[in-house]
Amino acid sequence: MGNIMPWWVWLILALFMAAMIVVGCIYALHRGFAALQTVSNTASQVGNRIARMGEPVEASAPEAPFFTQPLAVSLEYYEAAQLKVAQRDKAKHERHMRVWQRWNRERIKAPDFINETDE
């Protein structure tokens, strides 16, 4: 009957199991409270936005539809929109050029394992 574990091994295993259950419960409670905080913040933001929807809007004179206005007004809106598009495209191009210039200055170093496998 030498294959039976001593009592102290069972005691250590039982204490370890109890400790893991307690730690797991504490972790679950901690994450649950963090999730509750996130949900409460989100609900508060949604509530604020819904409350703002119920507020009266400042009275402003409604703009006439484009097809009732002179063609010059529509052209001004179109030009302004196209100018914004061109500015966005130019900014995007400049960002890309800066990235490419940085990549040209700072060569990307190949990982060491690639050189080892090539031999």
Which amino acid is located at 45 in the chain? Q
- Which pTM does this prediction carry? 0.41
Report how far residue 36's alpha carbon sits from residue 88's, in angstroms, rounded to the nearest whole number: 40
> Which residue is associated with the tokens 């690639």?
114
Which amino acid is located at 99 in the chain? V
> Which tens digit of pLDDT belongs to each residue from 73-110?
889 999 999 999 999 999 999 999 999 998 888 877 76
Print burial letters for 81-96: b (CB count within 10 Å at least 16), e (below 16): eeeeeeeeeeeeeeee
CB neighbours of residue 69 within 10 Å: 13
Q: Would you state the structure tokens that stand for residue 119, as one six-digit string?
A: 């031999």
pLDDT of residue 117: 56
> Which tens digit of pLDDT belongs to each residue from 2-56?
578 888 999 999 999 999 999 999 999 999 999 999 999 999 999 999 998 888 8
